[in-house]
Structure 1
Amino acid sequence: MEVRGLPRGSRPLRAGGLADSVHETADRDPSLAQLSRRDPAHRDAWRPVTAAEFRDQVMDVAKGLLANGLRFGDRVALMSRTRYEWAVLAYALWHIGAEVVPVYPTSSSEQVRWILQDAQVRAVVVEHEHHAMTVAAAGGTASTLTALWQMDRDCLSTLADDGLGVPDEEIHRHRAAVQPRQVAVVCYTSGTTGTPKGCLVTHGNLAAEADTLLDGWGVLVAEPGAAPSILNFLPVAHVYGLMVAVCCLRGGIRLGLQPDIGPQQLLPALASFRPTFVFAVPYIFEKVFHTARRAAEETGRAQVFDKAADVAMRYAEAEERLSRGSGRGPSPALRARHAVYDRLVYRRLRAVFGGQVRNAVSGASTLRRELGLFYAGAGITVYDGYGLTETAGAVTAQPPGAVRFGTVGRPMPGSEVRIGADGEVWVRGETVFAGYLGNREATAAALRGGWFATGDLGLLDDEGYLVITGRKKDVIITSGGKSVSPTVLEDQLRHHPLVSQCLVVGDDRPYIAALITLDPEALDHWRRLRGKGTADITALAGDDDLRAQIQRAVSRANTRVSRAESIRAFRILPREFTVDSGLVTPSLKLRRQEIARVHAADIDAMYPRRDDDLLPGTGRRRGRRAGPAPSPSGSP
């Protein structure tokens, strides 16, 4: 089955590049508040940056880049969190036809070395001294590097001073030479299954993505009469966060840039910025839900919250049926209860996002249907979408007014989706990248006749909505030959408030098992409510009450799969998988192979060791055979 997106409402970019929109917006409305910067003297205040101010600063920095020897087609690495300086530098580089190479600020020296060498980077901009030391440890002073600047040393002013003698015409000459097919960003994949590959994302790719979203979904960004604004807290080193910034700057939407996504930093930023729309990942929506549930429990209102959540989901389901023509919508009684809980619960939840958000987007992985229904019932419709680095962002999205929770929507205008014979999702359209940098073999394997093989597994329902069921490389094959996609089990387990992460294992093993990490805040809350003292997670891992809680979560997850696919054992780990430990990508995806390597002993402990598992005369295991499973509670 193949599904084609609706015809585009806006015309694809035929000439020029991303930098042109900076001038178009400034010429049209120079006083427009294009961005907002945190006021260093008052952390809860945001200072507007007009379209004219942004254009002038970008021009000044572009002149400095030329004065320092950077030229058309050169690649410059930006190793930074999501902050204002990043936006200025990226657009300055696009002004002179240079290519941006985003580098995650948490990258190790080995990862940085690979990117600098693979992309033949000419210059690097980092946030601070620690990043500069990482670049130096990566051998950055050798190779092709000619310059390194630091944001915390006011590199924007330094570059502007360096470019004082460069005329405006020189910048405009470079900008006029940029064409849509030229590379704007060399965006590296997360490397979850191997060496990261540099995706060649063009000006035309990003412009098509942004313009399609603005054309089809722009009406959702703000309520009528409100000035649209978005606080971007997604990593700009990831194509998702990069796309949000480009979309705002092309669409004249006020853009705030927030570098930290920890609750202590993000929640106050949302409250002070008060965005009208949110782009996020499922983790954020899950975190807000569980935090609100814990707060209700601590004040003795857990029962009220749970009833409100049930009403929200039933209300949203009734609205969903109405939109499909298969129902009459919420009943009068349900509407009345919904109105009561809106005053008691839902408005408080909306206040967490600043109070103005009525619509949002979730990306990077599928948002659980139950969570999508809850938020819709609480007054925030979350439009789930699907895309990859190679597609410059989303290729499918929920159509306005026709959301199907639990799916990732239909193909966006200008895009097509089909499902291969093996269940792999293939996509085609204007946002599909130009290939992998210096890797013809990988490019040929991924791009065939204009179609991109995503590596994801999915299906199209009878209305053409895409459902992602897993990742081809993640499929587990047990020693009994059973193929298991871990996604369903892992998603269901993460629904439990105590569970932070879950990795399902079982390749060449007699049955499926799981490594589970716990949310420290949720665990602390659970411990205090049950009078468990000050025991840490290592001591609590063997607590019978805690294990019973997790066992119930496992049992609920198992109801979604067959007996052969169910989790037969689990192990609670003493700490979460983190970016710093190298077990999670910066976009919060598990590095499955690395986790399995680091926790090999924990995985082995969930399977019985049998004498006949050993090859005669060796200490090595033979292929495992089905044998008796441990008790359902797993190993401590």
Structure 2
Amino acid sequence: MARSGTVTWRCAECHKERVLREFTTPALPAAPHVGGLADAVFDHALTDPDRVALGREDGAGRWRDVTAAAFRDEVLALARGLLAQGVRFGDRVAIMSRTRYEWTLFDFALWTVGAQPVPVYPTSSAEQVHWILYDAEVSACLVEHGDHAMTVGSVIDRLPRLQRLWQLDAGALDDLLAAGARVAEDVVHRHRRAVTPDSVATVIYTSGTTGRPRGCVLTHAHFMFETDTLLGRWEPVFASASGGRASTLLFLPLSHVFGRMIEVAAVRGRVKLGHQPELGADALLPALAAFRPTFVLAVPYVFEKLHRAARRRAESDGRAAVFDRAEEVAVRYAEALEERAFGVGPGPSAALRIQHQFFEKAVYGKVRDALGGRVRHAMSGGSAMDRRLGLFLAGAGITVYEGYGLTESCAAATANPPERTRYGTVGQPIPGTAVRIAADGEIWLRGGHVFAGYLGDAKATGAVLRDGWLATGDLGVLDDDGYLTITGRKKEILITSGGKSVPPAPLEARVRTHPLVAQCLVVGDNRPYVAALVTVDPEAVEHWLTVRGRAPLSPAELVRDRDLEAEIRRAVIAANTSVSQAESIRTFRILARPFSEADGLLTPSLKLKRRAITAAYAAEVDALYR
């Protein structure tokens, strides 16, 4: 049973005793972890060789099944090729690619020989690539295509340890498989048997919103603890679905810890895994329709886009009022189920159940169809999801389990449990994990998934690991049931010239709930009041103009359009109702285009780079205070 309470802690600096709030969820019963992550590939091929383990899309858009035995054979053959090319136990090998089948193949082949994959975001600049490859002392690098090869090539003279560069789209896989023909299989297995849970599995670099990325050292044991805990506790998500096995289409970047964790969980949990490299609707929606996953993993932005697209389709068909009514019913229906789960309500009334059933085919079924038709569960992480959006999706038949974690915690440290989801929170500590709220509101974590430290940086490691606790830098509150709500980030708190402390994230999230808003950056540090920079969703604006019979707007016209400004002002006013007057957004500026990763204004996980944005738009920020 989960335990909550308070603890007394003596501050080492001021020597005062402080009361901290803490919540612990006991670990699940589990067998001791042995071996390494690649062992699952070989064990599953031995016990269930004909089971479909992965789906692989061919060049014509068709999905081909890959059995457990076939995947084992590919992993083994590639592992032989890596050994033939000089990769050895403990070597670090960088992978710079979008999410695709070959990434998973290389991960497990590298783990088979005891090497350590080092992911690199495919959009990284030359200097970012240089830093990661240099700091991690990689001996080889796999890139996806020629542009990536040129990026690495531009800094290769400053990478003395880099010995080999392979390019996927130039036949690297075939070359490695051919080279491995002369390596005996027994040599591979000797390497594999030398891997232990304490062996380093990967070094994942943080996205670097506030400075140079640091390499987080994660072991095989960290991934085993994390994935086996999720597979056990969230069994409804990962278990076989009616009419077939559980499956997921992974479109999150494998260069991010969330996607990497799901890759491992799918293989260990015998979940059919597919890959989709493109996040754009034109590529993603057909892939979802063809693959038909039973669950998906995404960041809130993806679910927001799904909801907005469904609303626009309804408006284009002249059924906006129907959709809005269906949304209201879905939210009320999900709230009633939530209240019943927590023992504070009887559940949906008969009248509400009838209304809900009425909209099932006309609205809710179409929302699910956009994800392939079979999705009933989803997991969301990376940033906070709006409570109303979570309730709507639940009412539409897709339960989203929102969670929270960091690269340093091997992805999820908290998540909403299947039987008692509290929307608007990031859930309770996952089994075997403790969450503590420090005296200043900072979230501390402890558990078997907390990383071993930053590569080669004892000082930075010591700053975040304190007596077994990971100081996250995030701020939050725990309710009486141990559900965590994220309230901001310590380094992002704005302090106005009047001395008012303002966490920007909650305000930004509320403004972003408006269908026309893409992003919102709240400013006001050392300023007399709080203001905001707002970007709009181009597709949503185009639809909004069409419905009103108006011609498209140029970027210059967009920022000055009075009707658009009035719409955004309504979003700002609605957001301000949740805060005091001193914390409210007094004025805002609409920008001509959204912040993008290509411009260096977003991290690869789509978080705002606050310093970069305020520097790039310094003139616009200054204008807000004239």
TMscore range, shorter length: over 0.9
Aligned-pair CA distance for 1:64: 1.0
1:621 corresponds in structure 2 to none
Aligned-pair CA distance for 1:533: 1.1
In 2, the alpha carbon distance for the partners of 1:360 and 1:103 equals 26
1:216 corresponds in structure 2 to 233
The code of the aligned residue for 1:423 comes to: G
State the Cα deviation string for residues 379-420 of structure 1 (Å, max 9, x = none): 111011111000011011111110000001111111110100
1:613 corresponds in structure 2 to none
In 1, the alpha carbon distance for the partners of 2:391 and 2:362 equals 18
Aligned-pair CA distance for 1:167: 0.7
Alignment partner of 2:110 out of 88, 93, 103: 93
Contact kept, 8 Å, 1:101 with 1:186, in 2: the verdict is yes
Contact kept, 8 Å, 2:216 with 2:455, in 1: the verdict is yes
Contact kept, 8 Å, 1:79 with 1:105, in 2: the verdict is yes
1:47 corresponds in structure 2 to 64
1:153 corresponds in structure 2 to 170
Aligned-pair CA distance for 1:300: 0.7
Contact kept, 8 Å, 1:446 with 1:454, in 2: the verdict is yes
1:176 corresponds in structure 2 to 193
Distance 1:435 1:350, change over 3 A: same
Contact kept, 8 Å, 2:558 with 2:592, in 1: the verdict is no
Aligned-pair CA distance for 1:140: 5.5
In 2, the alpha carbon distance for the partners of 1:493 and 1:595 equals 18
1:71 and 2:84 are equivalent in the alignment: no
In 2, the alpha carbon distance for the partners of 1:126 and 1:9 equals 40
2:311 corresponds in structure 1 to 293
Contact kept, 8 Å, 1:9 with 1:212, in 2: the verdict is no
In 2, the alpha carbon distance for the partners of 1:583 and 1:540 equals 21
Aligned-pair CA distance for 1:366: 1.6
Unaligned runs of 5+ in 2: 1-20
2:101 corresponds in structure 1 to 84
The code of the aligned residue for 1:31 comes to: D
1:513 corresponds in structure 2 to 531
State the Cα deviation string for residues 590-627 of structure 1 (Å, max 9, x = none): 1111111111111001002xxxxxxxxxxxxxxxxxxx
**Which SS does the other structure have where 2:279 is aligned?**
coil
Please report the TM-score for the alignment, with normalisation by the length of structure 1: 0.94
Contact kept, 8 Å, 1:113 with 1:140, in 2: the verdict is no
In 2, the alpha carbon distance for the partners of 1:399 and 1:298 equals 37
1:62 corresponds in structure 2 to 79
1:283 corresponds in structure 2 to 301
1:625 corresponds in structure 2 to none
Aligned-pair CA distance for 1:525: 0.7
The code of the aligned residue for 1:165 comes to: R
For residues 128-207 of structure 1, the aligned pairs below 5 Å read 128-139=145-156, 142-207=159-224
1:469 and 2:487 are equivalent in the alignment: yes
2:5 corresponds in structure 1 to none
1:7 corresponds in structure 2 to 27
The code of the aligned residue for 1:126 comes to: V
In 2, the alpha carbon distance for the partners of 1:106 and 1:540 equals 29
Aligned-pair CA distance for 1:220: 2.4
The code of the aligned residue for 1:30 comes to: P
Aligned-pair CA distance for 1:12: 4.5
In 1, the alpha carbon distance for the partners of 2:563 and 2:306 equals 25
Distance 1:140 1:124, change over 3 A: farther
For residues 302-313 of structure 1, the aligned pairs below 5 Å read 302-313=320-331
In 1, the alpha carbon distance for the partners of 2:96 and 2:79 equals 18
In 2, the alpha carbon distance for the partners of 1:192 and 1:22 equals 35
1:253 corresponds in structure 2 to 271
Alignment partner of 1:32 out of 32, 37, 51: 51
Aligned-pair CA distance for 1:225: 4.6
**Which SS does the other structure have where 1:500 is aligned?**
strand
1:586 and 2:609 are equivalent in the alignment: no
2:138 corresponds in structure 1 to 121
Aligned-pair CA distance for 1:534: 2.6
2:36 corresponds in structure 1 to 17
The code of the aligned residue for 1:597 comes to: A
Distance 1:12 1:479, change over 3 A: farther
In 1, the alpha carbon distance for the partners of 2:65 and 2:29 equals 31
The code of the aligned residue for 2:92 comes to: R
The code of the aligned residue for 2:603 comes to: T
The code of the aligned residue for 1:29 comes to: D
The code of the aligned residue for 1:172 comes to: H
Please report the TM-score for the alignment, with normalisation by the length of structure 2: 0.96
Contact kept, 8 Å, 2:134 with 2:159, in 1: the verdict is no
Contact kept, 8 Å, 1:80 with 1:126, in 2: the verdict is yes
1:435 and 2:453 are equivalent in the alignment: yes
The code of the aligned residue for 1:572 comes to: I
The code of the aligned residue for 2:42 comes to: H
The code of the aligned residue for 2:470 comes to: F
For residues 160-559 of structure 1, the aligned pairs below 5 Å read 160-221=177-238, 222-559=240-577
In 1, the alpha carbon distance for the partners of 2:577 and 2:556 equals 29
**Which SS does the other structure have where 1:260 is aligned?**
coil
Contact kept, 8 Å, 1:368 with 1:491, in 2: the verdict is yes
The code of the aligned residue for 2:57 comes to: R
In 2, the alpha carbon distance for the partners of 1:142 and 1:6 equals 45
**Which SS does the other structure have where 1:164 is aligned?**
helix
State the Cα deviation string for residues 123-167 of structure 1 (Å, max 9, x = none): 000000100000011235742110011111221111011111111
* Range 584-593 or range 224-233, more displaced: 224-233
In 1, the alpha carbon distance for the partners of 2:606 and 2:184 equals 44
State the Cα deviation string for residues 48-84 of structure 1 (Å, max 9, x = none): 1111111111111111111111111110000011001
In 1, the alpha carbon distance for the partners of 2:594 and 2:400 equals 27
State the Cα deviation string for residues 229-279 of structure 1 (Å, max 9, x = none): 110000000000001110001111100011011111111110110001111
Unaligned runs of 5+ in 1: 609-636
2:126 corresponds in structure 1 to 109
RMSD, aligned α-carbons = 1.0
* Range 274-283 or range 219-228, more displaced: 219-228
**Which SS does the other structure have where 2:311 is aligned?**
helix
Query: Percent of pairs identical after alignment?
Result: 57
In 1, the alpha carbon distance for the partners of 2:157 and 2:599 equals 23
In 2, the alpha carbon distance for the partners of 1:164 and 1:343 equals 55
Aligned-pair CA distance for 1:344: 1.1
State the Cα deviation string for residues 495-524 of structure 1 (Å, max 9, x = none): 001000010000000000001111000011
Aligned-pair CA distance for 1:179: 1.1
Contact kept, 8 Å, 2:130 with 2:159, in 1: the verdict is no
**Which SS does the other structure have where 1:278 is aligned?**
strand
Contact kept, 8 Å, 1:460 with 1:466, in 2: the verdict is yes
In 2, the alpha carbon distance for the partners of 1:225 and 1:308 equals 28
The code of the aligned residue for 2:611 comes to: Q
In 1, the alpha carbon distance for the partners of 2:276 and 2:364 equals 25
**Which SS does the other structure have where 1:196 is aligned?**
coil
Aligned residues: 605
